[in-house]
Copies of this chain bind each other. A is one copy, B any other.
């Protein structure tokens, strides 16, 4: 349950799941507002919880690729439920309208689409 009790963790999962982010530098983008030490800590925690996997990037030498494990991908329903709720009530939610449209029109299709992108 500790996964949901932390906003940074949720942000990272969201970025992995919906924004195609994979690299340290993308998560530590200033717009996210997460300090590098915290990012480091949360990534390590997520790895140790088995929610993400950390693998060497074959193309770039000293770089790692972070990806959701199966356990992590199984969080998709949770994340989508949050997205939906936030879109309804959170004024400043920046979810693209096209995404919401799809989510409501055919959630199953959207899910497989996202999982495909994560594979």
Instruction: Point out residues on A near B: beta carbons under 8 Å.
Output: 1-2, 4-7, 10, 71, 74-75, 77-78, 80-82, 84-86, 88-90, 93
Contact = CB atoms under 8 A, between A and B. Distances in A.
Stoichiometry (number of copies): 2
Contacts of A6: 5
A81 B10 CA distance: 15
A56 B3 CA distance: 35
A10 B6 CA distance: 11
Given A74-B85, A81-B81, A88-B74, A7 B7 contact: no
A34 to B, nearest CB: 12
A54 to B, nearest CB: 19
B90 A85 contact: no
Contacts of A78: 78, 81-82, 85
A118 to B, nearest CB: 16
24 contacts: A1-B7, A1-B10, A1-B82, A1-B86, A1-B90, A1-B93, A2-B7, A4-B4, A4-B10, A4-B82, A5-B6, A71-B89, A74-B85, A74-B88, A74-B89, A75-B85, A77-B81, A77-B84, A77-B85, A78-B78, A78-B82, A78-B85, A80-B81, A81-B81
